[in-house]
Each structure stands twice: as C-alpha cells, then as structure tokens.
Amino acid sequence: DAGVIQSPRHEVTEMGQEVTLRCKPISGHNSLFWYRQTMMRGLELLIYFNNNVPIDDSGMPEDRFSAKMPNASFSTLKIQPSEPRDSAVYFCASSLAHGSRGSYGYTFGSGTRLTVV
Amino acid sequence: DQQVKQNSPSLSVQEGRISILNCDYTNSMFDYFLWYKKYPAEGPTFLISISSIKDKNEDGRFTVFLNKSAKHLSLHIVPSQPGDSAVYFCAASGRLVRGSQGNLIFGKGTKLSVKP
C-alpha cells in the first residue's frame, strides 16, 4: 500500500483565494482525520470522519473551513477565502477503526504545506 | 486546556548518550499512550506505544515508561544516534474520555537534536 496520499505537497496562494487540499486514505481504513500543525498549537485535530460521515468538526476554526468525504477513498479540506493565518502544514491521517488504538494508531500522510500571502 | 503536555519544546543530546523525552497528561481516563516521530517534510510515524496496564514497554533502543500516579510518561532512547533527530509527539487516548470518541490527543512535540 502506498500509504496515505496527500496533494499538493506545497501550496502558495494569495489571501482571499480558495484552497483545496486532498487526501487518499489507506484502502480499508474507515476513519479519516484532518490535522493542522503550527508552532504555537502543535497538532490540532480539525475534523474526522468515520465511514465517510463527519463525526466531529469542532476543531474546524471557522466557517471558512469545510471538509468532505464523498467516498471511502477520497477527502478534501477546503478553505474559502484563505487568510495568512491559515498558513500551516495540514496532515491527513487514517486508521482502521473508529478510535483505533492498535499497535500502529494512525497513519499520517506527508502533509500539505500551505502558505497564504 | 491541553490534556497532553510536552513542556520541553527542544532537547539536545550528544550521540551515544541517553535521550529522555517527557510527557504529562491531565485526564486519568486515558488508557493508551503512543509516541510518534516526525522528520521534516514528512508526516508523523508511529514509534512505540504503551497500555495503562503496563509501566514499561521496550523496543530496541526505545523504551517508554508510564507512571500513572504521576500522570507522566517518558520515552528513553539509548544510545541516541544522529538519525534520531526529529520532532517527537506524545499522544493519548481513552474510550471513556469525554469529547474525544477514543481518538488520539497529541502534545505539541519536542524537537530532539542528537549531535555527533
């Protein structure tokens, strides 16, 4: 398996533009998580899905952020409009079961580094 | 309020010596703890875990110790190698932790630098 695949790896955009981040989870995993990493706040959970259904989006910072999971193999995180303070690394992770705590926990993608200028 | 705390943002150690990374948690309902390692430009990868029924788990050069009464865990790396230089995240979970749905809650990370 290729692991969790995120695209793009880097995104530079101007303030006010729409940004879409993409994630392909590991085949067979039924939970998907979007995290944001910043120096100040570390790894923050933004939203997670179980069986393609959003379970908890309380970590989504504002209405400018939205996430979808139209099927088991694809998810998007959209920011519209983007602002400079959204600049961060965004990670997608997947796991086999809801709240899985197996030996391997979550599998993370390589992240998307977003810069909003 | 942070439930998982890594109070040292960075740690520098000489090659061959022991690295000790610390993590504190506030919720006694956590019952499973993990350490993740993150290299620049990569996602975090699982390193080692421990269940609350144990107080020690060892995997090669890596050992995690859990002190439930102190709500403290630590990761020991012996001997440290330059390739261990990375950011280490502590994470905790507990199915009975309110609001978490059993998901992992991460600390902010500690950047370890192992100098040759």
For chain B, list residues with pLDDT below 70: 1, 98-101
Position B52: which residue type?
A: S
pLDDT of residue A49: 92
The pLDDT of residue A116? 97
**Residue type for A107, please?**
T
pLDDT-derived band of residue A39, with 50, 70 and 90 as boundaries?
Answer: confident
Percentage of the residues of chain A whose pLDDT score is greater than 90: 69
The residue ranking higher by pLDDT, B3 or A20, is: A20
Distances B94 to A26, A100, B51 between C-alpha atoms, Å: 24, 10, 10
Å between A64 CA and nearest CA of chain B = 23
Q: Do A99 and B95 touch (CB under 8 A)?
A: yes
Residue A43 contacts B, CB cutoff 8 Å: yes
A8 pLDDT band, cuts 50/70/90, is very high
Sign of the torsion formed by the C-alpha atoms of A77, A14, B40 and B11: negative
Token code pair at residue B33: 């703890």
Whether the pLDDT of residue A103 is over 50: the answer is no
- CA dist., res. A84 & res. A16, Å (int): 9
Q: Which chain B residues contact residue A113 at CB under 8 A?
A: 41
Q: Would the CB atoms of B43 and A109 count as touching at under 8 Å?
A: yes
Cβ–Cβ of A42/B46 closer than 8 Å?
Answer: no
CA-based nearest distance B31→chain A, Å: 10
* Inter-chain touch B103–A48, beta carbons under 8 Å: yes
Q: What is the mean pLDDT of residues A33-43?
A: 89
Residues of chain B with Cβ-Cβ distance to A91 below 8 Å are 43-44
| pLDDT recorded at residue A24 | 98
pLDDT (tens digit per residue) in A44-87: 899 999 899 998 898 898 899 999 999 999 999 999 999 999 99
Strands (E), chain A: 5-7, 10-13, 19-24, 31-38, 42-50, 53-56, 65-71, 74-79, 88-95, 107-108, 112-116
Distance from CA of B106 to the nearest CA of A (A): 6
Whether A53 has its CB under 8 Å from any CB of chain B: the answer is no
Residue with tokens 């199915």: B95
